[in-house]
Amino acid sequence: MTAVMLTTSCGVLGLGSSKKSNGVGLGAALLALYAGYKLAGKIDLSNLGNIVNLASIINILKGNALEGDNTELIEGMIEGAQNTISASNAEAIVGLLGQLSNIDLSKVSSTAKSLTNSATQEATQAAAATLTASPEVQSAMNTLTSIFKLMN
């Protein structure tokens, strides 16, 4: 869990610019969200870790991580997701991440930054209510659910 938070924190901060490190960050953030999804049956945005992981994905994608050849990105993504993403479904996941990168989710990144400073349960719950009501976030949740269906 510490490794996932460290990897995803680097994504939130915009650290690590190589295709492979971007892939590792994407994979780790997807794995963390997927684990929570499997437990709760949904992506619980009242969990600060989930907001941070979603923001990490968004920030990595904003850095044009999907442009050009994605071979190294996919290798990193498989590694970061600890093989819950396989080589056979990685291209489909990259395609779905492309859809995610087209959604304006800047509100999630700014919410994650402000919450990591306060990190109170009340602030997280209020932010979750705001984010959940957003059509962009709902679209992102649908895309992530499609990604999770491809993961092992």
Q: What is the per-residue pLDDT across 17-40, written as a single tens digit (0 to 9) for each?
A: 599 999 999 999 999 999 999 999
pLDDT at 133: 81
The answer to whether residue 52 scores a pLDDT higher than 50 is yes
pLDDT at 119: 63
DSSP state of 65: T
The answer to whether residue 9 scores a pLDDT higher than 60 is no
Question: Residues, the chain, total?
Answer: 152
User: Mean of the per-residue pLDDT values for the chain?
Assistant: 84
Sign of the CA dihedral with 95 first, then 100, 103, and 109 last:
negative
Alpha-carbon distance of 67 to 13, in angstroms, equals 20
CA angle 100, 147, 113 (to 5 degrees): 50
Q: Whose CA is closest to 144, among 18, 47, 55?
A: 55
CA distances from 131 to 34, 62, 64 (A): 19, 19, 24
Average pLDDT in the 85-101 region? 93
pLDDT at 17: 59
